Chain A
Amino acid sequence: MSKIFKGKTVGQSVEKIDSLALSQGKPLFTDDFKVEGMLHAKFLWSPHAHARIKNIDTSAAEALPGVHAVICYKNVPRVMHTTAGQGWPEPSPYDTTMFDNKVRYVGDRVAAVAADTEEIAEKALQLIKVSYEPLEPVFDLEHAMDKGAPVIHDEPDCKYILPLVYEPKSNHCAHIDLDVGNIERGLKEADFVIKRKFKTHYGQHCAMEPHACICYFEPNGRLVIRSTTQVPFHTRRIVAQCLQIPERMIRVIKPRLGGGFGSKQEILFEEVCALLALRTKRPVRLVYDRKEVFVSSRTRHPMAFWMETGVKKDGTLSAIKMKVISNTGAYGSHGMTVMSNCCAKALPLYRCPNIQFIGDTVYTNLPQAGAFRGYGVFQASFVMGILMDEMAEAVEMDPLEFWRKNTIREGESHPIFERVGEVGKGIAMVIKSCALPECLEKGATAFGWKEKRAKYKKQPAGPIRYGVGMACNAHGAGVPKIDMASAFAKMNDDGSFNLLISAADIGTGSDTVMAQIFAEALDIPMEDVIVFSADTDLTPFDRGAYASGTTYCTGMAIVKMADKIKDQILTVAADMLDEPKGNLRIENKSVVSTKNKKKVEFHKIAKQALYVNNQFQIAAIASNASAIPPQSYSANFVEVAVDTETGEVKVLSYVVALDCGTAINPKLAEGQAEGAILQAVSYALTEQYHFDKNGRMLNPSFGRYKIFSTSDIPKIKAILVPSYEPSGPFGAKSIGELCIDCVLPAISNAIYNAIGIRLYETPFTPEVVLKALKEKQSKM
């Protein structure tokens, strides 16, 4: 059992600092903002999945009174870039330009209009005459790389800026492979080899706040971009790239965000809004409606897996062979990294000496995939979670015991850590904190795993069948050697502090968590920390909110920065108390002498430094670059009821026991777990994209793309099992994505436990279950 940290502020469920203002409906979001003379922008979307634009005639639209600008491929610079909001140099292909003379999915951009009102902009769109030459589309990810398949990216200027495999002429967006040990030997040594194919489907983040952007100008002509972004600095850099203007001309402001889940880790349309503002010299507002969010923002990468795993009679894993094809849709944003994460972040959970991974990403003429909570680990955990259950069954072990036996432990390492990272080579790492064994134990007890397994073995006959399932996962924090975050703070007259950060709180509560870390480090109360995030003019660089890295990466920058502040405070106090610095320590918003009772309060120290003697501003900045990606862990238990007459699967209860290191704010951590679980339960059971034969999404609304509401919810219980990660702030790791990863396999395993049918494809809708039940019956 490792050390556990509980502080005055860290480890306490303090109130989320913005929650009162949010509950009162204060105008805090991107679109809660008006600028005098603001124009409204709208996109014209492609009705074709794949077509060449032979010509666009925008003259009638331009002539419409109230229209101020129309842009399309004819009058914008052609700058190949990626929309992925990643660090530079981005590991996503430069396969996108603002507007192209080719469209690659139904919902791709054709043109954009800025007008006095939204109504006029919409009228103008109807006046744009586009002549298309339809091309044959590619929809099936398994056939996208076939010889002779239509080429989606036939433009000569698409490329990676990193040395990565890229064959756009065969719709091949990315490739990663890896061998650990000897896969053939591992399979040969196995007493049972399980060979299966799996598929996961399209899904959308469904952040309640649609994507929005407002561009306007400062009096000196600098461009301000107020945007729903998870990545303010990447947005500034990529918009500068697209518009070919220097970063110094751009200021990006991130207000409160109404959820993101990865969908806002994109330069989605900020460059278009900015260009329209530059062309019209007017403020411009661009807001997606819900249909546009579904079709023309980003989605989850659907994947197909071909798996072989081997297990020995004694329950030892001997081989994992994973071949995956990931569908990135029409553009390759996050295409390589989501696929590589299926290996890099998902597989190091397993104590298995022989592993082979072959991953490919393909283009298709379907909506663009992008970052989405889980980011490859979600898909790979589905596959591995079911296989673990099947292998446990093959060797007649309780899954609980099988998971315990075959998962990584404290003090161990994994060859994959060093061999492959999210981007290229990885980093060797020894696990310094792992409470997965305790998670298994506590989760199983709280859920009643043994009792329920026994109970449902002998359930009375009837149309409703009950079952339980479980699965575990690991999710690494951040991207080592790439992630960097910094934090700045200054002391005010009253001894309070402004904490300026660019960690992008997207609704998770990271502003609160960062304030807690700072308050803990300086032994001050929460109300003395005034957090501001994020504004690229005012707050220092941060990678942004993604890859489960904010608490871990930015949190550590705050710890380092607080050390510098402490030193400055002690210097001033030493002068004031006439005591050597070594005799002094910080305690409860004061500096006290350990030798005598002398004491000076922070507000006096602040005033001394600002006004009295050896004047200076007590302030510091520090940066933190992640060296390793420590794993968080979760053990998941689920109970389902399957109606064998309708095929409906109901999740009755869900218990997750998780190790995120120190939970800086337990209530917020629970909230992350609960939200992630329901998001995935909803995806598992109801959410899906329906396409017609031409690749058009048929259900782009909440009415027809069903996300769970209060009436659908199971009982969810999140149990925080502490560990202490020495490389994290006060022992913290990460929580943002952890609990989404294992919902699919746990449910699939529970369905199997209930009706004896394994579902290897998502989602588990009534039609799918009913069909499987009928097939099973016909075989009996």
Chain B
Amino acid sequence: MEITCKINNVEKRLVFEPHEKLLDVLRREGYYGVKFGCGNGDCGACTILVNGKAVKSCIMFAAQAKDKEITTIEGLSTHENPHPVQKAFVDAGAVQCGYCTPGMIISAKALLDRNPRPTEDEIKEALEGNLCRCTGYVKIIGAVELASQRMRGGKR
């Protein structure tokens, strides 16, 4: 199969077998920031944005990406200029092993895009589908709160 879609603002042509999941195709294309954790949509390590919505790419067929706008963690920032959510994760000490981090940050960004001032419960709800085994989530929730504050204050 062959489709076109936009990945991180770049037009892309993807070629794959009909049964292939978007996660596998993205990784094959070099988007290694999209992680495999479970293959069942349970852990959220493979979370990406599809037309601005956080989606688990391991349970999405690659074919479903046709004509969609996809954002992976690589599309959020440049090395020199990290996204405020990324910066907040670093500053809050929310990154331990870092394997869940890209998916977690994508989910957090999707939340803050639609709700710039989330409550703690709203943050917990938005990140519910992203499992982390290192942090106990304490500093991750703190990071999202920090990002929310900074983004509203216009600081990066």
Residues of chain A touching chain B, judged by Cβ–Cβ distance below 8 Å, are 13, 15-16, 18-29, 31-32, 205-210, 256-259, 261, 287, 289-290, 506-509, 667-668, 670-671, 674-679, 701-703, 707, 709-711, 713, 716
Contacts and interface: CB of A to CB of B under 8 A. Distances in A.
Contacts of A290: 37-40, 43
A44 to B, nearest CB: 19
Interface residues of B, number: 52
Contact of B32 (A18, A32, A507): A32
A676 B77 CA distance: 32
Interface in B105-149: 105, 123-125, 127-141
Nearest to A666: B93
B34 interface: yes
A257 B82 contact: no
A18 B102 CA distance: 14
A209 B103 CA distance: 13
Contacts of A258: 35, 97-100
A710 B141 contact: yes
A678 B128 CA distance: 15
B57 interface: no
Interface string B58-86: 00000000000000111011010010001
A19 B43 CA distance: 20
B86 A678 contact: no
A182 to B, nearest CB: 43
29 contacts: A16-B95, A20-B82, A23-B82, A24-B73, A25-B72, A206-B131, A207-B97, A208-B37, A208-B45, A208-B99, A208-B131, A208-B132, A209-B99, A258-B97, A259-B99, A287-B36, A290-B37, A507-B96, A668-B93, A670-B138, A671-B139, A674-B139, A677-B136, A702-B40, A709-B127, A710-B123, A710-B130, A711-B128, A716-B136
B96 A28 contact: no
B93 A671 contact: yes
Contacts of A287: 36
A675 B94 CA distance: 11
B54 to A, nearest CB: 14
A25 B95 CA distance: 12
A506 B97 contact: yes
Contacts of A27: 32-33
B136 A507 contact: no
A13 B89 CA distance: 14
A24 B97 contact: no
B2 interface: no
A702 B72 contact: no
A667 B93 contact: yes
B124 A711 contact: yes
A671 B135 contact: yes
B90 interface: yes
Nearest to A15: B90
Contacts of A15: 90-91
A654 to B, nearest CB: 9
Contacts of B99: 29, 207-209, 258-259, 507
B90 A19 contact: yes
A599 to B, nearest CB: 34
Nearest to B34: A25
A633 B89 CA distance: 29
B102 A23 contact: yes
Given A32-B32, A675-B134, A23 B96 contact: no
Contact of B37 (A28, A205, A209): A209
A671 B134 contact: yes
A716 B137 CA distance: 10
Contacts of A207: 97, 99, 133
B128 A23 contact: no
Nearest to A706: B42
Nearest to B121: A711
A20 B85 CA distance: 11
Nearest to A18: B98
Contacts of B134: 208, 259, 507, 671, 675
B98 A709 contact: no
B125 to A, nearest CB: 7
Given A23-B89, A508-B96, A702 B136 contact: no
Contact of B127 (A32, A667, A668, A710): A710
Closest 3 CB pairs of A and B: A25-B33, A507-B97, A22-B98
A644 B99 CA distance: 38
Interface in B14-39: 31-39
A701 B38 contact: yes
A678 B97 contact: no
Nearest to B125: A711
A574 B39 CA distance: 62
Contact of A20 (B86, B137, B140): B86
A402 to B, nearest CB: 28
B101 A22 contact: yes
Contacts of B43: 208, 290, 702
Given A208-B97, A713-B137, 11 more contacts: A20-B82, A24-B74, A25-B34, A32-B32, A259-B96, A506-B97, A670-B139, A678-B137, A703-B42, A710-B125, A710-B141
A28 B98 contact: yes
Contacts of B45: 208
A23 B104 CA distance: 9
A686 to B, nearest CB: 13
Given A24-B73, A25-B102, A674-B136, A19 B40 contact: no
Contacts of A702: 38, 40, 42-43, 131
Given A24-B77, A256-B98, A257-B97, A674 B135 contact: yes
A676 B132 CA distance: 12
A687 to B, nearest CB: 11
Contacts of B141: 710
